[in-house]
Structure 1
Amino acid sequence: MPLAPTGELVARAVEDRSAVAAFNVITLEHIEAVIAGAEAAGAPVVLQVSENAVKFRYGRLLPLARAARAAAERAAVPVSLHLDHVQSDELLRQAPGAGFSSVMYDAARLPYPDNLAATRTAADWAHSQGLYIEAELGEVGGKDGRPPLDAHAPGARTDPAQARDFVGGTGVDALAVAVGSAHAMTTRTAALDHALLKRLSAALSVPLVLHGSSGVPDAGLVEAVAGGIAKVNVGTALNIAMTGAIREFLAAHPEAVDSRKYLSVGREAMALEVRRLIAVVTGAAGAATPS
């Protein structure tokens, strides 16, 4: 089916008081696994390509983007393409031509006035191109090898009043909020501030996004969706599933050299995790019926 616009998937999730799952992809195996898992769950899904994934692919967006688009257009459930954690304006401007309907512009590292100004400029341009734009206020932390912020560090949590001003001043369509999760967590021990999340949801008129969801226990994710999260971003959990399955396979088959053997095992493990997260955690199972 044709690519789905991310904005429509998020809007539908808001209407259903649910969330759409968004998975970061690095390889073709990631792409295939996410779509297979979404089809098994009977739910829409967002394929996300981050700026770091583009850097890994020698700085070239199109090879992975075209693979994602080709796979998405053959999926039995709605699939959208989202360009994630973009800091480069040059990369941002490649999004429309590469098939992306949405971007997450990441200026959260900047002081608040600079974040607001840079995001406003990015949002104006994105909207002129028909792109749905997400931004971040506060700092989720843990990205690019940096440790998560201490819970009491400046910027470690999103302030509702500031978030209201930020959304109004930038015109973004969705906001990633810092409520206790962190990127790249390999243990599911993050404790979300659900009281803060409820305050943010009450203060803002745009959908809220949770980054760093791989480190949040299932019960925490379920409560976050009930508290107002409409898009749940997952990346590290897929890499954990893939790497663990490949390690187990190679330990049992030390003679193996055909990469298809262990990559297929890794792909299947990721697909199972995608299905589990969609069906059990976000409650989005059955939101789309395979045709």
Structure 2
Amino acid sequence: MKIVFAGTAEFAVPSLRALHTAGHDIQLVITQPDRPARRGLKVMPPPVKVAAVELGLPVFQPERIRDAAAADRLRAHRPDLLVVVAYGQIIPASVLAIPRLGAVNVHASLLPRHRGAAPVAHAILAGDSETGVTIMRMDEQLDHGPILAARATPIGGTVDAAALTTQLASMGAELLVETLGRLEEITAVEQDDRAATVAPRLRKEDGELEWDIGALEIDRRVRALQPWPGVTLPSKRGRVKVLSGHVEGDRYVPEVVQVPGKRPAPAKQVLGDGPGARRAP
């Protein structure tokens, strides 16, 4: 099958590698332009570009995939299928219509729950007992197309978003290859829009917490907002970043924290061991 792959984030890399290993003819890898890293000004390639170069695949980095030049480049390859995984831009209907078999997407939730840019974080924030991956046919609406396949997994009580994202990326890659192997035999099922929830992009202020929101909510946010934006809480040393911790009765106990400008360290070492050191009085 002749495939054009569109992806940017680390979540997409296992899917790209799995398609390559499965022997699919990946004609082109579309990814976003190199950008300055979050810290510092050094321009860095997206993870998908790094993987594509390692695999010897051609890379195309349009500023906007809806531009006519990007559509022309895709059309020139006459692909059977467009595979989109964590690309980071809405793909217009005019582009989705180019491949013979349309476009499919790997999404890190059990759709229609958690449509949007941050499904893994929002599954943890919502206290969901399980999440999963969905393979869907794409339409011009966000995470709205009919479902081809889905696979669920429990959300452990201590797992954070970074670890869960890694797990789902691997699950999604496996399910993608399985689905493409019988794509033309599968009858896609429309999503139930009445059951849909949204998972909007995270904001820095989502992690700026106070102790009075409660231990369970703090725990969910510490786990859900890793690695970005992270969580800060007030302490005797000012606001500190909380990297991990646990619920103990009705209070939240930080385990690893980070003072601005310092390395992560055990909370007891940084904040002391008194009750006022690890929670607001």
Task: Normalising by structure 1, report the TM-score.
Answer: 0.34
Which structure is higher in strand share? 2
Structure with the larger RCO, 1 or 2 (CA within 8 Å, 6+ apart): 1
Which structure is higher in helix share? 1
Which structure has the larger Rg over C-alpha atoms? 2
